Chain A
């Protein structure tokens, strides 16, 4: 059974700092991994999608990496801003299923 873990559960950093969010999964047989952002009480905004054959994806100040063999992904945020404050969720799509399995998220607070 696929399980997704995100560490840390919460993180507070000063504005301008670079930071890394971690995601680990137990079954390496995945099709893809997706990072989402969720503002309080809102839906999910897709940030980056990494296919199983890829090692990383970049979008603006965000960079996501994937290491299938070790069951890990990281989301790197450069030059953090207060507007980056949100919960960040990672989710994997498994081999025999179309559903996403989510972690419980990392709550990020960027202090001005």
Chain B
């Protein structure tokens, strides 16, 4: 049973570029959330997708956008990259039926470095 998988694991971009990160949820899960973790900090919630729609969003600018596909996988897109976007991006999956009480499972993350 595969857990949450993310790709790529590492990538380097320059300021102003755009990046797409991908996530496949744990088998049987239908909800995907994205988090940004800066060095030495706890993860910060970006947004959550369920039924291919953004259901909730954290305090992130519109440069951050996402998508969920019919197979429940998800993408995180960041446009016009800034140096401050350098972070570990974590994807988490859960099951909507127990959305408020269920356990979140995280992937290994995508380490983004912006030069």
Contacts and interface: CB of A to CB of B under 8 A. Distances in A.
Interface string B29-57: 00101010000111111001000000110
Interface string A36-48: 1000011111100
Nearest to B94: A98
Contacts of A7: none
**Dominant secondary structure of chain A at its interface with chain B:** strand
Contact of A41 (B33, B44, B56, B111): B111
Interface residues of A, number: 25
A34 interface: yes
A68 interface: no
A46 B104 contact: yes
Contacts, number: 63
B56 A105 contact: no
Contacts of A99: 33, 45, 48, 56, 58
Given A31-B101, A43-B107, A46-B105, A102 B43 contact: yes
Nearest to A32: B101
Interface of A: 4, 31-32, 34, 36, 41-46, 49, 51, 89, 91, 93, 97-105
30 contacts: A4-B42, A31-B100, A31-B101, A32-B101, A34-B103, A36-B106, A41-B111, A42-B108, A42-B109, A44-B43, A44-B92, A44-B106, A45-B106, A46-B103, A46-B104, A49-B103, A89-B42, A98-B48, A98-B55, A98-B56, A98-B99, A98-B100, A99-B48, A99-B58, A100-B35, A100-B45, A100-B104, A102-B43, A104-B41, A105-B42
